[in-house]
Structure 1
Amino acid sequence: MIKSAWIDRICTGAAALAALLAILLMFGEPLGLPKASASPGYASRLFNSSRVHTIDLQINDWGAFVENAGKEEYVPCTVEIDGEAFRQVGLRAKGNNSLRLTEEYGLSRYSLKLEFDQFIDGGNYYGLDKLSLDASFQDNSYLKTYMAYDMMAFMGVPTPLCSYAWVTVNGEDWGLFLAVEEPEEAFARRNFGKDFGQLYKPDYRSLKEENADVALKYIDGDPDSYPNIFENAKFKASEADRERLVEALRVLSTGENLESAVDVDEVLRYFTVQVFVMNWDSYLGRTGHNYFLYEEDGILRILPWDYNLSFGTYALGMTNPIKDSNVLINYPINTPAEGEVMRNRPLYHNLMKHDEYFARYHRYFDEFLSGYFENGRFEAVLRQTEKRIAPYVERDPTAFCSYEDHQLAVDTLEQVCLLRAQSARGQLEGKIPATIRGRQEQPEAGVDASAVSLAALGDFEDLEWAKEKQDAALETVLQKGAL
């Protein structure tokens, strides 16, 4: 029999161990321990990016789904991910211009959303509530979004997880898509812990309107003046949540005490990559959208989203497009948009007015170029990923381009990024103008990018070419009939 003194010691030791464990759980993150939510089950499964996964969409009437895709209405389906089935998952098409143009050109390869809790309360994929399947619209390389997210993650910006997936419909091949973690509850928990703040996806109703709230401009103190933010809240926002965000916008508008309203350090790292990838279908472009806004304790952070038109290719969809690769690849890093746009983008403009923040932005650009490009990391990631997906791209039945065009696009993307890095380095060192005015005064200055054709990354001609191929793939699926 154990003596009572030993029992007391054992109990005392157990209590002390329990207390220590509680302290580690509460305060372990500052000590270097990962958050309990930092590695959810889905991260090591579907979002293990070292291989191409499989996703089978099992749906009764795929023809009706494609025909009605433009309505963006959820329909139930069974989704089999790497051989494991999940039933009653919500499926719909996604996108803005990509969805509209896919429909206009009579194509059937839409980007998709899968929402696991759309029809089943609490439904999830190992903790994930929603993911998207990116169709690589106007991205013949299949790599623009993947590489942009890798750059953001390298700079320490909270970034959606992503990996490639071979998608089939009712067992028939449909194509290679990029699976992306949608920023909702699981994303917020993974990045910000269980007591996460509020998440919004500001978006315009019409480009003909001012959309000041999407630009994060302060309008007045009434939260109802910001419908494009609060009507796009990912979680139900309380009155206190709304008031905190509006107050943060007010402080941002003054240009003073910005660290009381903005996570300045993280925002500067975000803009380092955002400016580098020349994405004008974004906060720094005329649309002003394609970002997520995170608010916690009155502090704002901007998060990355949607890069299929990055690396200068959004210009291909403009009314008066800039097609000169010398202009685009040497685009200034200090004034990455025209003055009319910059003055209406306070989250960039008002930070860059401060010498301290401006200098820190340049330091981050230097760290990004030296750590991601000048040591070979970029080329290694690009080529390893291309090697992994190449066999799937070659047999993709709904591809927007031929395999040869894909190979050209990968080479072009590599060339664009390396030249862009060379230009950015020259701008940091004062050898190349880093402002729009400077470029106008010295148009001949900059790296020579005249041999680069940005259209090789994806253009409207590809959409016309793809129709016959996608029609054939759709017919193959339809011939199999309903489940």
Structure 2
Amino acid sequence: MIKNRIVYTSMAILLLLFGVMVAVLPNLGIETKNTEYSYETLVFNKSKVTTVDIEIPQEDWEDMLENAADEELKQANITINGKTIENVAIRTKGNLSLRSVVNSDSDRYSLKVDFDYYDDTQSLYGLKKLNLNNNYSDSTLMREYLSYELMEKMGLPTPAHSYMYVTVNGEERGLYLGVEAVDETFLANNYGTNDGFLFKPDGTGSDLKYISDNIADYTGIGLKTNEDNIEDSKLTDMLDAINNGGDIEQYIDVDEMLRYFAVNTALVNLDSYQGNMKHNYYLYENNGVFSIIPWDYNMSFGGFGAGGGGMGGGNPNQMRGNANNELPADGQTEENADTPAMKQPQEGQPNGEQLQEGQPNGGQPQEGQSNGGQPQEGQPNGEQSQDGQQNANRNKGNFDMGGGMSSNLMADSAINFSITTPVSGTTLEDRPLLNALLSNETYRAKYESYLEQLATTYLTEDYIQSITNNLAMLLTSYEEADPTKFYTTEQFLEGVSGDNSLPEFAKQRSASILKQLSGELVVETSATAQGNMGMPNGDTNNEANGNQMQMPDDFDPSQLPEDFDPSQLPADFDPSQMPEGGMGNEQGGKANGGPMQRPDGMGFPNQGNGQATQETGIDKSTVLTATATFSFLVAALLFVFRFNRRGR
């Protein structure tokens, strides 16, 4: 008979080996056979900067840059962390932001990579489409990243995202934010099915007001999937319910939408359904129930301007330019991320007007005007690089679009943005989905509980500071070396810590939320304050300008006089607000000035080197296997114990 000591020792060794296997094997970087959605860790690795190397015929690349507004697809090969995918489609992307860059001295365009355009069986670890966002109008480079992080923390289905350093034909293009496209792959990964209806509203119907029971009347509803079965959609039934007092729980995921609007409100993200533009969100209908999917957060943290969509903060009643100093018309799209622009809109159709010199964004700034001149030695972006070229390189100037945090992050209108009437440039009644939720006492109480959770747990100074510090350590060397960046390193670091930083915004915004919840702070709202849409008025001192234009929901920029000339907001960066010592020195680079250096050991593009590495973690299949194996070992131990007792 086997001695108990031998039996127990053997079982203990087996259990120890099991523990070592579970703890160590997932971290060895061994690629598993195939998990359908392994791109979440193999492509979007948040602990490093992913390398993206694009190889494209040089003439095609130059044509893409010269005709960026066409968004024409080009064929290319792409290598991501050493994994090469051939025969992919790539194009510039965006709409209003794209036009702004087209009409600037920069060619730093956002890009969209379509892995399965030419071969529908092709993907990158399951990923079919990748957006490379240029961080337009965000000097911190962190607003969109942080927003998605908070959405994830609040349990919302959120596109995968991480930072990526891009090269084209061996030439560095700079630091981008990679974001997963919301498409069939995203739906299957997050909802278990992509058989439903995915909508990206933007235009007529995107406010979700009830028009009729004919879905064709909602021309801006933007159906992206399952178009052939649109008659089976419950969209009009849902709209009828939220507008006319039906059972909304039958048609929408109430709890998810309350969490979404709580995060959106806390982050003062007004380039959204809650603002005048009523866009930048997805709806997914699965079995007749609608979920909401967050999208496009480079204007969060008050970047779109409370009180109407203008850049910056200040008085909500003041007329200010929007995030891009552009004049979007109702129905225009900031970006059509999922549909390549194979055909250009005709004159007279939405988005069909051509920007002429002298019209908004139509001309180049002149020397001596704001942003018009070349940077001088000693000025931001004016330093000489190693080859004697300007650090700004393709930008040719200090390309400050007025989106820098240095002037507007701590605006009172953003810090104290109302949580009871969380809309801007519109009224709560004109946003029936949000109105239907907040007019119900039970739903409002839950919405407020989510705001409290955000204000005490996630949108706190300490939590946001920990993220910005880590991102600064990860990104500073890449940001310094970025040859096409829109902003200076000082402006980037200003958002990391200090009196005008993202953590300071979190501190003051969360305090305001808690005061509003307790009744200590009452934010006055009015139809006038909420109904004004900001737009440039030709005076950089907008608060002092009494000649304010009003911009209604159906504003058409083509009605502006041809000689209308929007002002450019000047850069008013104060280097004294930069964190002491600068984060850049810790990364082996200079925070300000001097030659650009490639960061050693940071995963910079290295031709022919590097395998895709998986982020530390254990997937569901590993957990299930480990649980089953552990249960088997315990059962075996009990069996041997009982067998020994009977054998005595």
CA contact (8 A) 2:461 2:504 kept: no
Equivalent of 1:215 in 181, 194, 207: 207
SS state at 1:228 partner: coil
- Name the aligned partner's letter for residue 276 of structure 1: A
Which residue of structure 1 aligns with residue 416 of structure 2?
330
SS state at 2:495 partner: helix
Equivalent of 2:271 in 273, 281, 285: 281
Write 1 or 2 for the structure with the bigger share of helix: 1
- 1:221 deviates by 0.6
Scaled by the length of structure 1, the TM-score of the pair is: 0.78
Whole-angstrom distance in 2 between the partners of 1:461 and 1:234:
43
Equivalent of 2:53 in 51, 56, 72: 56
Whole-angstrom distance in 2 between the partners of 1:263 and 1:42:
27
Which residue of structure 1 aligns with residue 97 of structure 2?
98
Which residue of structure 1 aligns with residue 386 of structure 2?
none
- Check 1:237–1:366 CA distance in 2 against 1; reply closer, same or farther (3 A cut): farther
Which residue of structure 1 aligns with residue 85 of structure 2?
86
Deviations 1:115-170 (A, max 9, x none): 11112222211111111001000111110000000010111111101011110011
Map 1:64-83; keep pairs closer than 5 Å. Answer: 64-83=63-82
Which residue of structure 1 aligns with residue 509 of structure 2?
420
CA contact (8 A) 1:140 1:401 kept: yes
Which residue of structure 2 aligns with residue 251 of structure 1?
241
The root-mean-square deviation of aligned C-alpha atoms, in Å, is 2.6
Whole-angstrom distance in 1 between the partners of 2:269 and 2:129:
25
Whole-angstrom distance in 1 between the partners of 2:52 and 2:272:
30
Deviations 1:54-76 (A, max 9, x none): 00111113211111111112111
CA contact (8 A) 2:140 2:493 kept: yes
CA contact (8 A) 1:129 1:186 kept: yes
Equivalent of 1:239 in 215, 218, 230: 230
- Check 1:284–1:438 CA distance in 2 against 1; reply closer, same or farther (3 A cut): closer
- Check 1:438–1:431 CA distance in 2 against 1; reply closer, same or farther (3 A cut): farther
Which residue of structure 1 aligns with residue 178 of structure 2?
179
Which residue of structure 1 aligns with residue 289 of structure 2?
299
CA contact (8 A) 2:196 2:284 kept: yes
Which residue of structure 2 aligns with residue 263 of structure 1?
253
- Check 1:291–1:239 CA distance in 2 against 1; reply closer, same or farther (3 A cut): closer
Which residue of structure 2 aligns with residue 310 of structure 1?
300
Whole-angstrom distance in 2 between the partners of 1:339 and 1:410:
30
CA contact (8 A) 2:185 2:194 kept: no
Whole-angstrom distance in 2 between the partners of 1:95 and 1:290:
12
- Name the aligned partner's letter for residue 230 of structure 2: E
Which residue of structure 1 aligns with residue 141 of structure 2?
142
Whole-angstrom distance in 2 between the partners of 1:39 and 1:121:
15
Whole-angstrom distance in 2 between the partners of 1:369 and 1:177:
29
- 1:376 deviates by 3.1
- Check 1:102–1:257 CA distance in 2 against 1; reply closer, same or farther (3 A cut): same
- Check 1:164–1:339 CA distance in 2 against 1; reply closer, same or farther (3 A cut): closer
CA contact (8 A) 2:262 2:451 kept: yes
Map 1:122-141; keep pairs closer than 5 Å. Answer: 122-141=121-140
- Check 1:386–1:343 CA distance in 2 against 1; reply closer, same or farther (3 A cut): same
SS state at 2:45 partner: coil
- 1:374 deviates by 4.6
Q: Which runs of 5+ in 2 are unaligned?
A: 1-33, 313-317, 322-407, 530-567, 572-648
SS state at 2:505 partner: helix
Count of matched residue pairs? 402
Q: Which runs of 5+ in 1 are unaligned?
A: 1-36, 205-210, 441-458, 463-483
CA contact (8 A) 1:428 1:434 kept: no
Deviations 1:263-286 (A, max 9, x none): 110000000010111121110000
Scaled by the length of structure 2, the TM-score of the pair is: 0.59
Whole-angstrom distance in 2 between the partners of 1:301 and 1:389:
34
Which residue of structure 2 aligns with residue 224 of structure 1?
216
- Name the aligned partner's letter for residue 238 of structure 1: N
Whole-angstrom distance in 1 between the partners of 2:272 and 2:505:
19
- 1:317 deviates by 4.1
Q: Please say if 1:392 is aligned against 2:478.
A: yes
CA contact (8 A) 1:203 1:232 kept: no
Whole-angstrom distance in 1 between the partners of 2:101 and 2:476:
24
- 1:438 deviates by 12
Which residue of structure 1 aligns with residue 603 of structure 2?
none
Whole-angstrom distance in 2 between the partners of 1:276 and 1:38:
35
CA contact (8 A) 1:332 1:434 kept: yes
Which residue of structure 2 aligns with residue 13 of structure 1?
none
Larger Rg: 2
Whole-angstrom distance in 1 between the partners of 2:425 and 2:441:
19
- Name the aligned partner's letter for residue 297 of structure 1: N
CA contact (8 A) 2:242 2:436 kept: yes
Which residue of structure 2 aligns with residue 121 of structure 1?
120
Which residue of structure 2 aligns with residue 476 of structure 1?
none
Map 1:318-467; keep pairs closer than 5 Å. Answer: 320-321=319-320, 325-338=411-424, 340-374=426-460, 376-411=462-497, 412-436=501-525, 461=570
Percent identity, aligned pairs only, is 35
- Name the aligned partner's letter for residue 275 of structure 1: T
